[in-house]
Amino acid sequence: MNGTIDHKCPNCAAVLKFNPHGQNWKCEYCKSEFDSAQIEAINEKSGKVIDETTEAVKLQKDFNGMDIYSCPNCGAQIVADENTTATSCVYCKSTAILKNKLVGEFNPTKIIAFHKTKEDAISAFQKIRKGRPFAPKEFNNPKNIDEMSGIYIPFWIYDFQANGNLQADAKRVNTWRSGDYMITKTDVYLALRSGHMEYDKIPVDGSERFSNDIMNSIEPFDYNELVDFNHAYLSGFLAEKYDVDSDKALTDAVERVKNSTTDVLRNSITGYTSVVVTSANHDLQLTNKEYVLLPVWMLNIKYKDKIYTFAMNGQTGKMIGDIPIEKKKVIIWWICLFVLTFLVCIIVYLIGGIR
């Protein structure tokens, strides 16, 4: 089945798209709405029909790394790279889910659906200058949005059981006066800690195309809304399959777990003036891993011929990205603050605060 699938409205056969605000599917023509249970039923009932009627034959494979499909809706060619699992036809805009890429190991187990719409992402971008006086004035103009896409990004999520040992030199320093002498007493301890702890669902971006730092920065996702994967969630959005395999992605998660485990053990050493960790080792056990799709709005902003990448957590709405800095504003701010602080010093002096 080298085909694309789409979800059709049982009432009018138009394409059903996922509606993030209602968390349901809405037919853009007859306005019918369906919840996830109904979609499940439609899928099962018409699963065979979809295969037959919406079969879009994969015309060419691995042509310069691109796959070419024919749109199930209008027959136009759809070009998608090898990692794309959901896209849309450039002619008729209908969603094409490249089902053949979502089978076997590439079939995600769970998904968090989009909660934020494109409009939400635009308005979040418009507010991004708030509290950031050094951002150029024109930067957050929506017209600078060069490209905006709602993408289900492949993530690996890992559960760990961690055992850690830690040794630290702990010092307690007491100082007091005795006559004309200051007495300093230093008590030295060797602090030993061993502990066990568990971590749930540490996400690691499984796509080479998206920077790990950006994906780290839009964390956390609310896993309470993690549901079983269903193709229907992809309609109306783009989706990718993983190209960073689990073993490779794991190293990032392991590093984070080690650091946090050390932190927990280190922070249990209390009541000292200084604590220096001399050795720490870990024994981690991966207890579960899952391949999931998480919703992200990706925005590319073109400002002064440079592209800035922003991302918004499609579930929580947290928007991140590095904003350019206008040097002139920084200098003006610094000078104004200098003058202001100096005036405050003078006022404090006149009132009588500084001796």
| Segment 131 to 170, residues that bind another protein, using CB under 8 A | 131-135, 165, 170
User: Helix or strand or coil: residue 117?
Assistant: coil
Residue 9 touching another protein (CB under 8 A):
no
327 near another protein, judged by CB under 8 A: no
Closer to another protein by CB, 72 or 203: give it.
203
Phi then psi dihedrals of residue 328, to 5 deg: -60, -40
Q: How far is the CB of 16 from another protein (least distance, A)?
A: 34
Q: Tell whether residue 353 is a contact of another protein (CB under 8 A).
A: no
Shortest distance, position 240 Cβ to another protein, whole Å: 20
- For residue 192, state whether it binds another protein (rule: CB under 8 A): yes
Q: Site for another protein (CB under 8 A): which residue of 68, 79, 148, 264?
A: 264
Residue 10 or 324 having the CB closest to another protein: 324
Helices (H), the chain: 36-53, 118-126, 212-217, 246-267, 327-351
Between 106 and 134, name the residue whose CB sits nearer to another protein: 134
Work out which of 184, 247, 279, 305 binds another protein, going by CB under 8 A: 184
Give the CA distances from residue 49 to residues 4, 11, 39, 53, 183, in Å, rounded to whole numbers and listed in that order.
13, 15, 14, 6, 88
Element (H, E) at 184: strand 181-205
Smallest separation (angstroms) from another protein to the CB of 176: 11
Query: What is the nearest approach in angstroms of another protein to the Cβ of residue 292?
Result: 14
Task: Look up residue 334 and give its two tokens.
Answer: 């610094």
CA distance 255 to 250: 9
For another protein, the binding residue among 119, 187, 222, 228 (CB under 8 A) is 187
Closest CA to 317 of 301, 299, 297: 297
**Rounded least distance, CB 286 to another protein, Å:** 13
Question: Least distance (Å) from another protein to the CB of residue 185?
Answer: 5
Give the number of residues written for the chain: 355
Under the criterion CB under 8 A, does residue 354 sit at the interface with another protein?
A: yes
Q: Pick the closer one to another protein by CB: 55 or 326.
A: 326
Cα–Cα distance, 164 to 58 (Å, whole number): 51
Per-residue DSSP letter, 15: B
Range in contact with another protein (rule: CB under 8 A) among 127-135, 141-149, 242-250, 297-305: 127-135
Count CB neighbours of 275 within 10 A.
16
Residue with smaller CB distance to another protein, 119 or 187:
187
Choice between 1 and 188, CB closer to another protein: 188
Answer for which of 145, 191, 294, 312 binds another protein (CB under 8 A) is 191
- Closest to another protein by CB, 102 or 157: 157
How many of the chain's residues bind another protein (CB under 8 A)?
Answer: 72
Rounding to the nearest 10 degrees, give the CA dihedral for residues 14, 15, 20, 26.
Answer: 20
Report if residue 341 touches another protein, rule: CB under 8 A: yes
Q: Does 347 bind another protein (CB under 8 A)?
A: no
- Which tokens is 149 given? 């896409």
Q: What is the 3-state secondary structure (H, E, C) of 284-329?
A: EEEEEEEEEEEEEEEEEEEECCEEEEEEEECCCCCEEECCCCCHHH
- Candidate ranges 10-18, 52-60, 235-243, 327-335; the one touching another protein (CB under 8 A): 327-335
**Which string of b and e fits 78-115 if b means at least 16 CB within 10 Å?**
bebeebbbbbbbeeeebbbbbbbbbeeeeebebbbbbb
**Contacts to another protein from residues 220-259, by CB under 8 A:** 220, 253, 255-257, 259
